[in-house]
Amino acid sequence: MKLEGKVAVITGGARGIGKASALAMAREGADIGICDLLASEGRETVEEIEALGRRAWFTQANVAQRADCERFFDEARQKLGRVDILLNNAATSVRKPLIELEVADVEKTWGPTLWSVFHCSQLAARLMVKQGDGGSIISISSVQGVRPYPLSSAYNGAKAAVIHMSRTWAAELAQYRIRVNTIEPGWIDTPGERQYASEEEIQALAAQLPLKRLGRPEEIAGLVVFLASDKDSGYVTGSSLRMDGGFILPRMTKLEE
């Protein structure tokens, strides 16, 4: 197993990509700490991890708030002993054009999508430096961090910042053998995405994608395991890995005869 003896903590791990990553890391031997706003889904995820024979623990927390992030790390250390891997996964987006955005919409987006990544990465890095055994900090960014898809400027800006802050931290933290990387998913079929579109709309839009389907949370989780594992990615830091089924590629067009 690739992550035996490791402890991973995950923000927003109650469902979607965070939950799939929690289960995938547990299958590779890691013990798992999760926080989320959603208490019952968080506890269900913990039960599924425990059924795999790993230790798991959940706390309800709003990672937009520094105090909640500090409590998450303090409790994680008490319950699980240490932290070797951080997955910054929680995020949210208010989708509106610039001219309609309220300051409150931007704050609502940046709290979990940007500030939580700063808070949790800093807390994880401080702890990992003290532990002295290196570590892996992984943040879920997005293809929207590199392509300016309309109606999501607050989210796009936050995801771009996550990529660039992570590269900076990779440079600062390499001396402690702490690797810092980001993942840019394309369109992944999660409960969060299902809030924005019906099944019919999803199928119609998926047919226009190069690979004709949405990605699965388990596929992103495979990349999380890769970046978490020193065996697989011990020489990878400051990278942003895209898994988007070709989402951002130019589309083929039929040339006129």
Ligand X SMILES: NC(=O)c1ccc[n+]([C@@H]2O[C@H](COP(=O)([O-])OP(=O)(O)OC[C@H]3O[C@@H](n4cnc5c(N)ncnc54)[C@H](O)[C@@H]3O)[C@@H](O)[C@H]2O)c1
CB of residue 80 to ligand X, shortest distance in Å: 18
Binding residues (CB under 6 A) for ligand X: these are 11-12, 14-18, 35-38, 61-64, 89-92, 112, 140, 142, 185, 187-188, 190-193
Whichever of 162 and 178 has its CB closer to ligand X, that residue is 162
Q: If DSSP codes are grouped into helix, strand and coil, which group holds residue 235?
A: coil
Nearest residue (CB) to ligand X, 169 versus 187: 187
CB 87 within 8 A of CB 224: yes
Q: How far is the CB of 161 from ligand X (least distance, A)?
A: 13
Question: Is 155 noted as a catalytic residue in this protein?
Answer: yes
Residues 149, 155, 196, 235: which is the catalytic one?
155
φ/ψ of 15, rounded to 5, equals -155, 175
Rounded to the nearest 10 degrees, the angle between the axes of helix 66-80 and helix 116-131 is 30
Shortest Å, Cβ 143 to ligand X: 6
56-60 and 85-88 strand pairing: unpaired
Q: Which is nearer to ligand X, 94 or 230 (CB)?
A: 94
75 touches 59 (CB < 8 A): yes
| DSSP H or E stretch at residue 22 | helix 16-27
Q: Report the catalytic residues.
A: 155
